[in-house]
Amino acid sequence: MSDPKIVKLLDESSNRSSELPLISGTLGPACIDIGTLYKDTGHFTYDPGYGSTASTKSAITYIDGDQGVLLYRGYPIEQLATNSSFLEVAYLLLNGELPKPAEFAAFEHDVSHHTMLHESLKNFFQGFHHDAHPMAMLAAAVASLSAFYHDDLSVDDPADRKLAAIRLIAKMPTIAAACYRYSVGWPLRYPRNNLEYVDRFLHMMFEVPSEPLQMNPVAAKALDLLFILHADHEQNASTSTVRLVGSTGANPYASIAAGITALWGPAHGGANEAVLKQLEEIGTPDNVESAILRAKDKNDSFRLMGFGHRVYKNFDPRAKIIREMCHKVLAELGVNDPLLDVAMKLEEAALKDDYFVERKLYPNVDFYSGIIYKALGIPTEMFTVMFAIARTAGWIAHWIEQHETPGSRIGRPRQIYTGSDVRDYMPTARR
Ligand code: SDX
């Protein structure tokens, strides 16, 4: 009787074999541990998009793409969206458990008292042209944080790791608001510690010297919910980037800055900005059919932004929550955005079209979020910055988990070499 925990691999051409253990986690598919494969058989595995490859073990987030399930530390995203707050979710992702009242109070105090930036960072923004993309400014400003905290950069010191997590969660909204205000020529605003996390951010974004900002509870609640939904998502491209950079021993600010640049891509976090631009290009529900035709045309690089997902082959559970919230927020804010009609028509047409149905292409987290950001007065170029504020909680939780895992090694994939075979140098005269 063969051992169900072992996968036997035989390479008949070389008659070399390997017995590979099957390892399982709490939930999800078992994995074949291929650590000894090259030694046993002289072969690598090949999986360029990592579609069948687990890069690490993690206890932070679980996704079931077929069932449309998303759990943060075991808690369903739907329950956290209904009952929690972004700061409580950040605590949960970092510490693995929901905080007791005293634990949350201490965490909130720590975050509130690390929101300011070193004063000389204000000059940093002056170096950018006024129309610099805020993601470029954000990545640069976050990377520069390591220039201010020389004494607390030891990746091996748990206290330094915790302090870096607090600083990053606290300062991302301050930096993000500074990027926006610099782009519109407004004076930067200092964080107000008497405000809660999201209100403090909205105040830094929109308060102008000439009049006090009327805080909008609908906007704050909607933004807090969007931050919860974007906080973490397993080993997505930007989180995997943070882990790969972190595996070299790079400091937390450099690792998170790498995650920010990975998130920027339109196939990833940049999709929310791309969705809104695409909805504006489509313009009216009457143009939806031609957009669907273009998305299906293999000779056209056009894709429906906000549709499809590497893991979800069912509705993205976050998209379902955001879709409901979209209608509610626009109604409460009294906003009638024609782009919502275009989005609804696009979703309806795609979900009926065989091309999308066969490929299990459903709306993802980015499809509706831009419409809400727009209703809250967030400019389109800031949409991916919003994603980065939220995802910082997940990124730094993964970075800490990686450094707390004994035996973690530098990530160093191999390749299939397709270049020239060995050849001798050709002198110039003979080329
Ligand atoms: C995020 O990983 C995460 O968890 C990410 C994220 C997170 O929280 O971190 O969930 C956030 O990044 C969400 C995804 C945002 N991106 C977009 O909305 C951009 C549009 N979507 C696609 O580019 C695409 O669907 C991806 C990048 C999301 C997924 O790409 P895959 O898994 O590599 O899929 P694929 O490119 O292999 O596509 C499979 C087929 C192809 O057609 P065939 O070659 O089989 O004929 O589906 C087609 C693709 O052409 N396809 C699309 C499409 N997405 C895939 N066709 C039209 N429009 C699309 N949006």
318 CA to middle of ligand 1, Å? 16
DSSP at 187: P
* CB burial readout 9-18, b (16+ within 10 A) else e: beeeeeeeeb
298 CA to middle of ligand 1, Å? 14
| Residue with CA at minimum distance from ligand 1 atom 26 | 309
Report the nearest atom of ligand 1 relative to the CA of 239: 9
| Residue with CA at minimum distance from ligand 1 atom 51 | 308
Query: Of these residues, 199, 309, 316, 398, which one is catalytic?
Result: 309
Q: Is 359 in the pocket of ligand 1 (CB under 6 A)?
A: yes
Query: Of these residues, 203, 268, 366, 398, which one is catalytic?
Result: 366
Between CA 428 and CA 138 the distance in angstroms is: 47
Between CA 148 and CA 120 the distance in angstroms is: 10
User: Is 0.85 surpassed by the pTM of this model?
Assistant: yes
Three-state secondary structure call for residue 407: coil
Tell me how long the chain is: 431
Please report the pLDDT score of residue 216 as a whole number: 87
Q: Is 145 in the pocket of ligand 1 (CB under 6 A)?
A: no
| Residue with CA at minimum distance from ligand 1 atom 52 | 303
Q: Which amino acid is at 241?
A: T
33 is a catalytic site residue: no
State which residues of the chain have pLDDT below 70.
1-3
Q: Is 305 in the pocket of ligand 1 (CB under 6 A)?
A: yes
Between CA 278 and CA 187 the distance in angstroms is: 32
| Residue with CA at minimum distance from ligand 1 atom 33 | 310
304 CA to middle of ligand 1, Å? 9
46 CA to middle of ligand 1, Å? 20
14 CA to middle of ligand 1, Å? 39
Q: Which residues contact 425 (CB under 8 A, 6 or more apart)?
A: none
Pocket test for ligand 1, best of 241, 268, 314, 392 (most atoms within 8 A of CB): 268
Q: Is 73 in the pocket of ligand 1 (CB under 6 A)?
A: no
278 CA to middle of ligand 1, Å? 15
323 CA to middle of ligand 1, Å? 19
309 is a catalytic site residue: yes
Q: What is the pLDDT of residues 132-155, one digit of tens each?
A: 999 999 999 999 999 998 877 888
Q: Which residues contact 64 (CB under 8 A, 6 or more apart)?
A: 27, 28
Q: Which residue has the tokens 């075979």?
A: 421
Q: Is 306 in the pocket of ligand 1 (CB under 6 A)?
A: yes
Report the nearest atom of ligand 1 relative to the CA of 303: 58
Q: How far does the chain reach from its first CA to its final CA, in angstroms?
A: 63
| Residue with CA at minimum distance from ligand 1 atom 41 | 359
| Residue with CA at minimum distance from ligand 1 atom 32 | 310
